[in-house]
Structure 1
Amino acid sequence: MILAALMFVFGAWNVQQLAQLPSVTWLTCAFFIVVAISVAYSRFLPDYLSPNYLSSKVLKRTLLCIAAFLLGVCWASGFAYWRMNDELPHVWEQKDIAIEGVVASMPEATERGERFKFDVEKILTTGAIVPKHISLNQYRAYSHGGNRDSNKDAVDDAAELNQFHAGERWSLVVRLKRPHGTVNPHGFDFESWALAENIRATGSIKSKAGLKKIDDFVWRSSYVVEQFREQVQKRITKVLAGKPYSGVIQALVMGDDSQISVEDWQVFLRTGTSHLMSISGLHITMLAGLAFGFVSFFWRRSHQLVMKLPTRKAATFAGVVVALTYSLIAGFSVPSQRTFYMLLVFSVALWSGRQLVISQVLAIALLIVVLLDPWAVSSPGFWLSFGAVAMLAYALGGRVGQAHWFQAALKTQYAVTIGMLPLLLVLFGQASVISPIANAFAIPLISFVVTPLALLGSFLPIDTPLNLSYEALEVGMLALKWLNQLPAAIWQQHEPAAWTLIPAMLGVLWLLLPRGFPMRWMGLLGFLPILLLVPTRPALGDMKVTVLDVGQGLSVVVQTAKHNMVYDSGPKYNEQSDAGSRIVVPFLHGEGIKKVDGFVVSHNDIDHSGGMASVLALMTVTWLDSSLPEDADIPATQRKMRCFAGQHWVWDDVQFEMLHPRAESYDDANIKDNDRSCVLKVTSQAGSVLLTGDIEKLDELELINLEADQLKSDVIVVPHHGSKTSSTPDFIEAVAPRVSIFTNGYLNRFGHPKPVVFERYRATQSLLYRSDYNGAIEMNFVSKRNIQIVSWRNQYKRYWQDSFEPLN
């Protein structure tokens, strides 16, 4: 059974790696093979008919594994076909559509308004096609004189926030688009997440016109749960108003970590305690155990109750009910699902009088999770959650003798730390060095003090428990922040190849063998590939240029044999999120880059400099070159300079030349930020790339007049994202690019790239790329006039991603 469950999960996982779903014909054939194997397994291959019992057993297990794998493929593919068919057609993107439906989730506060899931019941616009499950934003009204241009989807000034509540039925006018995220090496896949969450379109409420509440509440179990979650959130917000860690309490009680600050998340990640700051299996198990003990204490004291139902069964039932309730309040995440299903399997076994070992329980829970949610296999939490329990079962189960509680605690922490290290390095490229120390006090504090008090104060009209919970959390945060200041708090490295996980896990299993096994230290050899096989660097004179997909903005990373340069840092999305922390730094870490030798910020537009603060805070940067104003928010300790034409340096036989702006332009306060963009040309022995920022027509004319001989380049990152204010025919002719790259957001509000500009580059027979269509563009300049180009969205395509018409 265990092997069959693992093969089923393996089949479901393989589906999530496909660029295209298997055909219906293929799936039908696979299903009939499963049926045939099942019949043969049960009727035609009994062991006692076989002259060779061992061969018969091996054959039966092999057939069982094949059937389980194919069934996993069919199951996950069937779910994918069903969900993918519910989609928003391209022709209805960014059009006003009147719909009627129910607020399906607790509204989540954002910087500019609120966001919630919405179940569509009726489409009121004739001919429109809208998915049944969408995510909507309502944006905060702007005061008169505010900058409306920063978000054209903002509602009008009369609109109000906080008027939507879970379970309400509304009539709305919305503007939607298909789920579309940035696609980068070592980056987060928003489209995969949206599919797993069954969000088939995203958008905003357009105006007050058509906005009408129809029903105060629609009775449905999921809406009841969401409404209760909303009430709990309001209570926590009210009692802990203005306190910096109230978001952590909210995460512990209801699994909503959206209000935890970026700084606090960094502390949790660096100390290895992030698993405690949301609903974890430990919390659910603890609550279920408390319910078990409470019911057991009182049940056994009533003869009538005991005669009707044994104490142990009654207490077990109570524990399962509490675990289910808490899991639902927490949003039923993968860790909570895993814990609940394990407790449920244990409870069913107890009620039926069966004996199950932990590996069987874990396999059944694993199977149930993937049966209900085939996309769970794409979640890092899925592997970390089940992996941690499996590692504990392996390291602590079946050992002779009983250790002292302190020794057992140390061994538990050792097993989890060593056991999860390979997964953490493959999934995130980092692991906390101080995690054992931090968890030693954080686990008991959070699980046995903070969480129970927070739950008690959230569900009862008594403020004292919530306040006590917060005070205990403050003590823990002080200790975690002190640990976070240690210089070697975290091990950061490149993101290793997936195959290196296999020898590393084999090494872990060897290291965690019982005492007495010889040469357990040799398990460390399994870690060598995951630690030592670093990404290949360009040869001397060559370079690797990656134009990252940051949405409507720009960020480029240039790698030479021994140096690294970042040009621009992408946009700032909101106060807690920017492209620097979400895209640029994860890419640098994934590539094994620990130091940025040069950081060029072309100009002071938020779509180019928005991620600068994160890059400076999270990376070691040797120097910063920019056209930013003197009062820009740059750390005083950072070495910085102004970019100007004539700056020149050579790294590893690769030349860097600054072509714009003129040094004297800084004396003219009337020059716009765009016109002062740092224009940089990078030349290797294999070719050159021109990075242009947001220069416009007059700047292009100036470059043609003053730097005409230097403009010709093999690759150009198109000025100003393809705006009609740039890319004059004369400038394009002077550059004569073989490759032209447009960096713009999907369906951006500016309409970039403008069709007329796009056609100008097409007319030159240049090879065209768009970051919204192609994702990150990786270019390896490896030999004379040879540029190897990888379009990340096309090269590493998954079945849930949109396909676009060829650009060339």
Structure 2
Amino acid sequence: MRTFILGFSAGAFWLQTQAELPAHAGAALLLACLLFLGLGYTARGGHVVLRLSLGCLFGVIFGYFWAAFLAHAALSSQLALQDEGEDITVVGTIASLPYHFEQGVRFNFAVEKAVSAKVPPLIALSWYAGFRNAATNEVGNVQPGERWRLTVRLQRPHGNANPMGFDYEVWLLEQGVRATGYVRPQPRADMPNRRLAAFVPGFGNVVEASRAALRARIVRSLEGKQYAGVIVALVVGDQRAIPQSDWQVFNRTGVSHLISISGLHITMIAGLFALGAGALWRRSFFIGWQLPLRLPAQKVAALAGALAAFLYVLLAGFGVPAQRTLYMLMVVALALWLGRITSIGHVLCLALGAVVLLDPWAVLWPGFWLSFGAVATMLYAGVGRTAAPMSAQASRWRRLRAAVALGAQTQYVVTVGLVPLTMLLFSQVSLVSPVANALAIPVISLIVTPLSLAGSLLPAPLSDGLLLLAHAIVQMLAQVLDWLGARRFAVWTAPAPPMWSFCWALFGTLWLLAPRGWPHRWAGMLGWLPLLTALPSSPPPGRLWVTAFDVGQGMALLVETHGHRLLYDTGPAYGPESDGASRVIVPYLRARGIASLDGAIISHSDLDHAGGAMSLLENIHVGWLASSLSGGHPAIEARRQSGRPYLRCVAGQSWTWEGVHFAMLHPLPASHDDIALKPNARSCSVKITAGQHAILLAGDIEAAQEAQLVARSAEGELAADVLLAPHHGSGTSSTQAFLDAVHPTLAIFQVGHRNRYKHPKAQVYARYGAMGITRLRTDVEGALVLEFGEGIAVTQYRASRPRYWQGR
């Protein structure tokens, strides 16, 4: 059974790496079932190796076609391409916990009826306040379970596609969301946006309404408190109110797994309920009921614990760590009820099979691997280390010491055992994690979580006092974590390891955690050396790498020479807590093991270019910064306070790194003092030359600046093989005279999918095509990597990593 489940999980993972789904997945799954039953029957008396091999093989086949079958079903309800961007009136219910942010609210909407179009059954909507300067637009007070009629504009799922980046499209697929969009502020007069019913009964609606009520109660009690979002996350699993600055501290100290309804919290709550139910059941003799004679207390305790875990997991939103813990507890409870003794290895495998069976996309997320990896590590490290049972006469002090020693041993095993996996998934490992977790685990699991749950459920004013106490404890803990995370040695970073390095480190970890008696276990740490000491890759001297990120409607490019790195623009601002740097650039740099940049250029102050500036400066060491920003910009003030170099972009500046020449072509010095100019007109424009090839980064210059460049440049001075299309291909740029002077063979358009500016403009895009210029768009191809050598090699991220859910 265990080999079959492992093969089943491997098959599901294999399917998630495919560019296309197999045809007739249902028929293939049925055929595989029949074949497996037939061969399984004939192999019953065969050799154990044959049985295990057949079990694993058919597990892979089952997993592959089962995941394909569910994927076909999930993709079957698609929004038609011709309906994208059209006004559609839908009637349905609010199907998730709404997330309120500064500009409006986001929620999932279960569609019951749609007018004039076929709409998927579940869509994700945003409702913005003052949408596009519509001051009269008011956001509806949507609550889970309510039925609304809304006029919306939808599109098929689409997300930014970058190396080492978050795959938003498959995340939506896993959630069952097959279209995203926004509520129209001014629909037809005869069909306004309005609530049709206060509540529609249903299991999912009851769960989400309960979560909303608990969240509202916590927010009211902790209004204005800094860590109210943490309390909400511990009670209902909604982490969206936790600011990015706090997540940075939690990640650096390695305690982010605790700031949610984790497996640890679920086990603790289940244990408390099981202990209480068992104690009350056994003491029923005192009231004359003699319940243990009717049903053993152990079974009642197991049932109570499993039920409590189930209810708590519902509050969590059914995340993978919560699922894993729930299934393990369910299997243990079932074994107790049936009188079957089972090993923890069987329990873990059954939980693994249940998670993948119900959610084959779970194998794509770090939480899946970390959850099962942690338990598997503890199982492996426990071999040969079972402590002798303690005498009943042992003192409390001795029992306490034994419990502390066991906890310390477990923390050591998990910390050490997950180092290779953590480096593979995050390219960093927290060195202060053992200390931080030793403090945070008992505080969060044994004190804060019970207080938060009790405060959420008990009547006022007792609830307010408990929630305030829980918040005060979290606040004190956060101060300690902040101090630990601020240490320079808090985090070790290195590039994401290749598979051979990961496997070698994994082998070393198994050696290090081997049972007692294994020779020279300390030597296992040598397997970590290639993992932890790797250096970021870089081009050979004289060569150049340029990565054009897919940041939506904005610009951001990483320029790399043999020994230096430069970032050109920082991407757009998506919201108060999210931008191109925090979501795309910084994760990519960390995955590459790049902890610092030699320089950064912010072409101008528009938010689609400078929106990620502060996130970049807060997370990555930047040697010098050049821009055309005005003096009051936050990035400029931050540089001045830090004392690090800052300079204005001025035509004529130049420098050379390892044989690669950089020349600033625009703006002119006088333009910085000309208040009549728009920010676009002062865009820092840089030409980079590596050998016989060059790339021109023109920012958002428009026709007037293009004409100035052509007029004051010598013949051939503007020529470049690659051109970053000025102003994203807008109608105000890319004049014929400018394109003739640059004469590129390749043009890059950094644009957002279905952006409201309609960049690149059709006539401009056609102008490039008429000149025979190869046109690449980040909204279509994803991130682009250009390698300048004897020629120019281009890697398109979507083409190099195709997945079945990306097809349009």
Partner residue, 1:448: 446
Partner residue, 2:482: 481
CA distance in 2, matches of 1:596, 1:490: 18
Q: Which whole-Å deviations, capped at 9, do the CAs of 1:406-426 have from their partners, x for residues lacking one?
A: 322221111111111111111
Partner residue, 1:53: none
Structure 1 counterpart of 2:806, from 780, 801, 805: 801
Partner residue, 1:523: 524
CA distance in 1, matches of 2:44, 2:493: 54
Partner residue, 1:138: 127
Cα displacement (A) at 1:594? 2.0
CA distance in 1, matches of 2:58, 2:442: 44
Cα displacement (A) at 1:100? 0.9
1:707 aligned onto 2:689: no
Q: Match for 1:39: what amino acid?
A: G
Partner residue, 2:426: 428
Partner residue, 1:145: none
Pair 1:743–1:500, CA change in 2 (3 A): same
Structure 2 counterpart of 1:68, from 59, 65, 68: 59
Cα displacement (A) at 1:481? 0.9
Cα displacement (A) at 1:506? 2.1
Q: State how 1:612-631 maps to structure 2 within 5 Å.
A: 612-631=613-632
Q: State how 1:33-182 maps to structure 2 within 5 Å.
A: 33-42=32-41, 44-47=42-45, 56-125=47-116, 128-141=117-130, 148=132, 156-161=134-139, 163-182=141-160
Q: Which whole-Å deviations, capped at 9, do the CAs of 1:727-772 have from their partners, x for residues lacking one?
A: 0011111111010010100000000000000001001111110010
Cα displacement (A) at 1:323? 0.5
Partner residue, 1:375: 361
Secondary structure at the counterpart of residue 182 of structure 1: coil
Cα displacement (A) at 1:440? 0.7
1:600 aligned onto 2:601: yes
Pair 1:202–1:30, CA change in 2 (3 A): closer
Partner residue, 1:655: 661
CA distance in 2, matches of 1:778, 1:630: 34
Given that residues 145 and 199 in structure 2 are in contact (C-alpha distance below 8 angstroms), is that contact kept between their aligned partners in structure 1? yes
Pair 1:106–1:279, CA change in 2 (3 A): same
Partner residue, 2:411: 413
Q: State how 1:294-309 maps to structure 2 within 5 Å.
A: 294-303=276-285, 304=289, 305-309=291-295
Deviates more, 1:493-502 or 1:447-456: 493-502
Q: Which whole-Å deviations, capped at 9, do the CAs of 1:505-556 have from their partners, x for residues lacking one?
A: 2221111112321111232233244334545311110010111111000001
1:401 aligned onto 2:387: yes
1:229 aligned onto 2:211: yes
CA distance in 2, matches of 1:27, 1:535: 45
Q: Match for 1:619: what amino acid?
A: I
Deviates more, 1:527-536 or 1:585-594: 527-536
Q: Match for 1:5: what amino acid?
A: I
Given that residues 716 and 739 in structure 1 are in contact (C-alpha distance below 8 angstroms), is that contact kept between their aligned partners in structure 2? yes
Given that residues 184 and 776 in structure 1 are in contact (C-alpha distance below 8 angstroms), is that contact kept between their aligned partners in structure 2? yes
Structure 1 counterpart of 2:314, from 288, 308, 328: 328
1:789 aligned onto 2:794: yes
Q: Match for 1:375: what amino acid?
A: W
Q: Match for 1:221: what amino acid?
A: F
Q: Match for 2:596: what amino acid?
A: K
Q: Which whole-Å deviations, capped at 9, do the CAs of 1:452-482 have from their partners, x for residues lacking one?
A: 0000011122211111111111111111111
Q: State how 1:732-747 maps to structure 2 within 5 Å.
A: 732-747=739-754
Given that residues 493 and 532 in structure 2 are in contact (C-alpha distance below 8 angstroms), is that contact kept between their aligned partners in structure 1? no
Structure 1 counterpart of 2:646, from 631, 634, 640: 640
Unaligned runs of 5+ in 2: 389-400
Q: State how 1:273-352 maps to structure 2 within 5 Å.
A: 273-303=255-285, 304=289, 305-352=291-338
Partner residue, 2:393: none
Cα displacement (A) at 1:781? 0.7
CA distance in 2, matches of 1:659, 1:604: 18
CA distance in 1, matches of 2:712, 2:499: 50
Given that residues 118 and 134 in structure 1 are in contact (C-alpha distance below 8 angstroms), is that contact kept between their aligned partners in structure 2? yes
CA distance in 1, matches of 2:503, 2:176: 32
Q: Match for 2:84: what amino acid?
A: E
Given that residues 272 and 438 in structure 1 are in contact (C-alpha distance below 8 angstroms), is that contact kept between their aligned partners in structure 2? yes
Unaligned runs of 5+ in 1: 51-55, 143-147, 150-155, 804-808
Given that residues 29 and 66 in structure 2 are in contact (C-alpha distance below 8 angstroms), is that contact kept between their aligned partners in structure 1? no
CA distance in 2, matches of 1:340, 1:500: 34
Q: Which whole-Å deviations, capped at 9, do the CAs of 1:168-206 have from their partners, x for residues lacking one?
A: 111111111111111111111111111111111111110
Given that residues 31 and 70 in structure 1 are in contact (C-alpha distance below 8 angstroms), is that contact kept between their aligned partners in structure 2? no
1:360 aligned onto 2:346: yes
Q: Match for 1:791: what amino acid?
A: Q
Cα displacement (A) at 1:595? 1.7
Secondary structure at the counterpart of residue 151 of structure 2: strand
CA distance in 2, matches of 1:423, 1:780: 30
CA distance in 1, matches of 2:654, 2:807: 42
Q: Match for 1:165: what amino acid?
A: Q
Given that residues 496 and 534 in structure 1 are in contact (C-alpha distance below 8 angstroms), is that contact kept between their aligned partners in structure 2? no
Partner residue, 2:398: none
Partner residue, 1:20: 20
TM-score normalised by length of structure 2? 0.94
Q: Match for 2:152: what amino acid?
A: V
CA distance in 1, matches of 2:533, 2:475: 40
Deviates more, 1:725-734 or 1:705-714: 705-714
Q: Match for 1:437: what amino acid?
A: V
Partner residue, 2:761: 754
Structure 2 counterpart of 1:258, from 240, 250, 272: 240
CA distance in 2, matches of 1:237, 1:397: 46
1:189 aligned onto 2:183: no
CA distance in 1, matches of 2:533, 2:97: 46
Partner residue, 2:775: 768
Cα displacement (A) at 1:284? 0.5
Given that residues 686 and 787 in structure 1 are in contact (C-alpha distance below 8 angstroms), is that contact kept between their aligned partners in structure 2? no
Q: Match for 1:593: what amino acid?
A: I
CA distance in 2, matches of 1:372, 1:36: 23
TM-score normalised by length of structure 1? 0.94
CA distance in 2, matches of 1:30, 1:351: 33
Deviates more, 1:748-757 or 1:98-107: 98-107
Q: Which whole-Å deviations, capped at 9, do the CAs of 1:63-113 have from their partners, x for residues lacking one?
A: 111111000001000000011111111111111001111111121112211
Secondary structure at the counterpart of residue 375 of structure 2: helix
Partner residue, 2:610: 609
Percent of aligned pairs with the same amino acid: 44
Secondary structure at the counterpart of residue 455 of structure 2: helix
Structure 2 counterpart of 1:218, from 196, 200, 206: 200
Secondary structure at the counterpart of residue 800 of structure 1: helix
CA distance in 2, matches of 1:79, 1:499: 32
Question: When the two structures are aligned, how many residues end up with a matched partner?
Answer: 779
Q: Match for 2:324: what amino acid?
A: R
Q: Match for 2:446: what amino acid?
A: F
CA distance in 2, matches of 1:309, 1:337: 28
Partner residue, 1:721: 728
Q: State how 1:500-515 maps to structure 2 within 5 Å.
A: 500-515=501-516
CA distance in 1, matches of 2:582, 2:226: 21
Given that residues 731 and 764 in structure 2 are in contact (C-alpha distance below 8 angstroms), is that contact kept between their aligned partners in structure 1? yes
Secondary structure at the counterpart of residue 561 of structure 1: coil
Aligned-residue CA RMSD (Å):
1.5
Q: Match for 1:256: what amino acid?
A: D
Q: Match for 1:299: what amino acid?
A: W
Given that residues 656 and 680 in structure 1 are in contact (C-alpha distance below 8 angstroms), is that contact kept between their aligned partners in structure 2? yes
